[in-house]
Chain A
Amino acid sequence: QVQLVQSGAEVKKPGASVKVSCKASGYTFTSYGISWVRQAPGQGLEWMGWISAYNGNTNYAQKLQGRVTMTTDTSTSTAYMELRSLRSDDTAVYYCARDGHTVTTGNDYWGQGTLVTVSS
């Protein structure tokens, strides 16, 4: 069965970086992409970006351009999302989700979420 298992909760100081992992199993990793979506406490969903596990192409939300980098390791079927220069309003649950391999089309399987807390 398809599973996306994310790394554990993180606590970071403002200005630091965080890297969240998402290990996929149960499907051919390189036949799909991965999206990252975050949700601040009590707030709605925010689309952060997408990466193709097929060819490494990426698309990022404009507001995060320059601070976010999404990568994949096809040898371990793992996707990564790194967010730099963290601010308090980056505190959120971060989700990875399976997506299309050429463009983002929507997410049929999701990880369990990773809480990232940014606090001094």
Chain B
Amino acid sequence: DIQMTQSPSSLSASVGDRVTITCQASQDISNYLNWYQQKPGKAPKLLIYDASNLETGVPSRFSGSGSGTDFTFTISSLQPEDIATYYCQQYDNLGTFGGGTKVEIK
């Protein structure tokens, strides 16, 4: 099974800050990586697919990059509505999720 290691597990940042989350795969997954946002009590929401493609309707302050084993998710200017837990997911071989990153406002 492919393991996905996501870091940090939580972070606190101020409104307007740049926020970066990393995800490392245990083997090469090419660009077969998605990023999701989940708010409390809600289903996840797809933000980024194929490592770097923005899902329709998602604000441009969200972005993703990387390929192979190392991936990065960035919020260029943190907004209050971005408070959530973010997950990466590989789909090169089945569909493993990372452990999640809880983003809070400082």
Contacts and interface: CB of A to CB of B under 8 A. Distances in A.
Interface of A: 35, 37, 44-47, 50, 59, 61-62, 95, 97, 103-108, 110-113
B26 to A, nearest CB: 14
A110 B44 contact: yes
Interface residues on B, range: 20 to 34
Contact of A106 (B46, B96, B99): B46
Interface in B23-60: 32, 34, 36, 38, 43-46, 49, 55
A46 B97 contact: yes
Contacts, number: 56
Given A112-B43, A113-B43, A106 B49 contact: yes
Contacts of A61: 94
Q: Find the residue from A61, A103, A107, A113 having the highest chain B CB count within 10 A.
A: A107
Contact of B43 (A44, A104, A111): A111
B62 interface: no
Nearest to A105: B91
A110 B100 CA distance: 18
A62 B91 CA distance: 15
A68 to B, nearest CB: 13
A95 B38 CA distance: 13
Nearest to A100: B91
Nearest to B45: A110
Given A45-B87, A111-B43, A104 B95 contact: yes
B100 A47 contact: no
Nearest to B49: A106
B1 interface: yes
B97 A44 contact: yes
Given A45-B100, A62-B1, A104 B46 contact: no
Given A106-B34, A106-B49, A47 B43 contact: no
A50 B91 CA distance: 11
